[in-house]
């Protein structure tokens, strides 16, 4: 199914899940290319269809002095360069409807952040670009209610939709994953993805910096594949402790290949 959405995706005939992975935010050209090269080497080795992920700007921050980006056009051009250099599709998130056409000029997939998944104008603007639209499920919504977000995109003339689960709000400072949501969202006949890193966030910490539990990324990923997720979303970085955004819940890049090996075995076991 994935190749009908993204004709330029590599390894499209693989039985493996597809992977959306990269840094939380675009921090600079050199590190983006370095991360992409490492992931492409891994996904080529294991025939995993791959989409490079990087936010050109971070709009949802805990504090006003938190890192938001290196400049919109500069970051988008880096995303474009990654795509052309390695021959892979790219994804970035947008936050307001006027950003859709701008970002669509550089990337293949427009991502709707979880907190904005009910914003009709944003969904319609993304749909009207003709790009694939990846909608993250709101932490405050049931999986079943995401049908209406899918319908907004399709009713705007675009059938290329992904849905991504990223956990549910649990109290004030934690999230929990209800894996019933994966098959529920797959019932809408769209590729369904598990965000294995944001679902382990611990938001709204008193320090003003979001926490996380990256040691559970493997657990979340294995469970998602076991219940039939079509794809995985994983933020990764060679030095998470010094990443400019969401370092507390990112996977260390050195751990990615070992994780992919394990997940392929899980996938093969359920085919």
Q: What's the pLDDT at 94? A: 97
**Nearest one of 85, 18, 88, 21 to 47, comparing CA atoms:** 18
Rounded to the nearest integer, the mean pLDDT of the chain is 92
* Rounded distance between C-alpha atoms, residue 71 and residue 92, angstroms: 14
* Rounded distance between C-alpha atoms, residue 271 and residue 268, angstroms: 5
Per-residue model confidence as pLDDT tens digits over 141-158: 999 999 999 999 999 999
**Dihedral pair phi/psi, residue 25, rounded to 5°:** -125, 150
Query: Rounded to two decimals, what is the model's pTM?
Result: 0.93
pLDDT reading at 251 higher than 80: yes
Q: Which two tokens stand for residue 152?
A: 């907004």
* Rounded distance between C-alpha atoms, residue 245 and residue 253, angstroms: 15
pLDDT band at 112; cut points 50, 70, 90: very high
Q: What's the pLDDT at 92? A: 98
Rg (CA), the chain: 17
Q: What's the pLDDT at 86? A: 98
Distances in whole angstroms, Cα of residue 190 to Cα of each of 126, 132, 142, 210, 222: 16, 11, 16, 31, 21
**Kind and range of the H or E run holding 104:** helix 99-104
Measured CA angle at 66 (ends 65, 70), to 5 deg: 105
Per-residue model confidence as pLDDT tens digits over 22-56: 999 999 999 999 999 999 999 999 999 999 999 99
CA dihedral for 72, 76, 77, 82, sign (positive or negative): positive
Worst-scoring range by mean pLDDT, 51-55, 114-118, 167-171, 261-265?
167-171
Q: What's the pLDDT at 15? A: 75
Higher pLDDT, 173 or 67: 173
Q: What's the pLDDT at 61? A: 56
Number of neighbours of residue 187 by Cβ within 10 angstroms: 11
DSSP 25-82: B---HHHHHHHHHHHHHHHHHTT--EEEE-BS-----SSTTS---S-HHHHHHHHHHH
Question: Do 90 and 113 contact (CB within 8 A), yes or no?
Answer: no
pLDDT reading at 261 higher than 60: yes
**Kind and range of the H or E run holding 67:** none
Higher pLDDT, 245 or 237: 237
pLDDT reading at 63 higher than 80: no
pLDDT reading at 119 higher than 80: yes
pLDDT reading at 159 higher than 70: yes
Cα of 99 vs its chain's centroid, Å: 18
Per-residue model confidence as pLDDT tens digits over 198-236: 999 776 555 555 667 889 999 999 999 999 999 999 999
The fraction of the chain above a pLDDT of 90, given in percent, is: 79
Q: What's the pLDDT at 220? A: 97
Level-2 CATH architecture, domain 18-270: Alpha-Beta Barrel (3.20)
Interstrand relation of 161-165 and 192-195 (parallel, antiparallel or unpaired): parallel
Domain ranges of the chain: 18-270
Q: What is the mean pLDDT of residues 190-198?
A: 96
pLDDT reading at 122 higher than 80: yes
* Rounded distance between C-alpha atoms, residue 157 and residue 46, angstroms: 35
pLDDT reading at 255 higher than 60: yes
Higher pLDDT, 244 or 97: 97
Question: Do 249 and 213 contact (CB within 8 A), yes or no?
Answer: yes
Out of 64-68, 98-102, 172-176, the most confident range is: 98-102
């Amino acid at each position: 199914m994935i190749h009908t959405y993204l004709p330029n995706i590599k390894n499209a005939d693989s039985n493996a899940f597809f992977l959306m992975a990269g840094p939380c935010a675009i921090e600079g050209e050199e590190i983006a290319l370095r991360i992409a090269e490492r992931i492409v080497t891994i996904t080529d080795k294991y025939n995993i269809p791959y989409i490079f992920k990087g936010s050109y700007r971070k709009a949802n921050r805990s504090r006003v002095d938190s890192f938001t980006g290196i400049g919109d056009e500069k970051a988008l051009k880096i995303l474009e360069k990654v795509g052309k250099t390695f021959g892979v599709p790219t994804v970035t998130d947008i936050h307001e409807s006027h950003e859709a056409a701008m970002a669509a000029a550089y990337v293949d997939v427009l991502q709707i952040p979880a907190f904005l998944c009910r914003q009709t104008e944003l969904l319609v603007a993304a749909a009207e670009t003709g790009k694939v639209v990846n909608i993250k499920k709101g932490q405050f919504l049931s999986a079943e209610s995401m049908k209406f977000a899918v319908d907004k995109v399709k009713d705007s003339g675009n059938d290329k939709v992904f849905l991504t689960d990223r956990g549910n709000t649990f109290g004030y400072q934690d999230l929990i994953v209800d894996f019933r949501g994966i098959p529920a969202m797959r019932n809408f006949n769209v590729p369904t993805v598990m965000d294995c890193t944001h679902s382990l966030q611990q938001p709204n910490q008193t320090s003003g910096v979001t926490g996380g539990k990256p040691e559970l990324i493997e657990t979340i990923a294995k469970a998602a594949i076991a219940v039939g997720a079509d794809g995985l979303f994983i933020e990764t970085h060679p030095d998470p402790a010094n990443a400019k955004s969401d370092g507390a819940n990112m996977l260390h890049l050195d751990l990615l290949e070992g994780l992919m090996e394990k997940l392929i075995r899980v996938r093969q076991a359920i085919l």
